[in-house]
């Protein structure tokens, strides 16, 4: 199962304040991946990526960008994994699914 690239999506109160903080840790905004005015940013420090999201998620979310989220959904369903937000398996292109691990941590699999 190819989960693709992953990062932690942080639910932040003030994206500008959070961005300023993470810049001090060496993170830089990835061009064309959100913006302060859009209330979301993807940041990178070498091989580490994090996302800052204001008013999008109630909690922090583990995010994966798989090449084929529909195949992953089929595989997880075949293993009786509960999916909280399913995608339409009869479509193509961008789609996402959401599920929780046994401790209630949100997992987003977002195919771009």
Q: Alpha carbon of 90 to those of 49, 95, 106: distances in Å? A: 31, 11, 25
Q: What is the mean pLDDT of the chain?
A: 94
pLDDT tens track for 10-46: 999 999 999 999 999 999 999 999 999 999 999 999 9
Q: Compute the distance between CA of residue 98 and CA of residue 96 in angstroms, rounded to an integer.
A: 7
- Domain 5-111: which topology? 2,3-Dihydroxybiphenyl 1,2-Dioxygenase; domain 1 (3.10.180)
For the chain, the domains span 5-111
pTM (two decimals): 0.81
């Amino acid at each position: 199962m190819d989960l693709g690239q992953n990062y932690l999506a942080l639910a932040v109160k003030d994206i500008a304040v959070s961005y300023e903080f993470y810049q001090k840790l060496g993170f830089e905004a990835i061009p064309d991946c959100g913006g302060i005015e859009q209330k979301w940013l993807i940041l990178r420090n070498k091989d580490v990526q994090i996302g800052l999201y204001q008013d999008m998620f109630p909690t922090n979310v583990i995010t994966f960008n798989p090449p084929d989220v529909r195949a992953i959904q089929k595989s997880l369903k075949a293993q009786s994994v509960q999916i909280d937000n399913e995608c339409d398996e009869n479509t193509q292109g961008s789609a996402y699914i959401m599920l929780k691990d046994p401790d209630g941590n949100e997992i987003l699999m977002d195919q771009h």
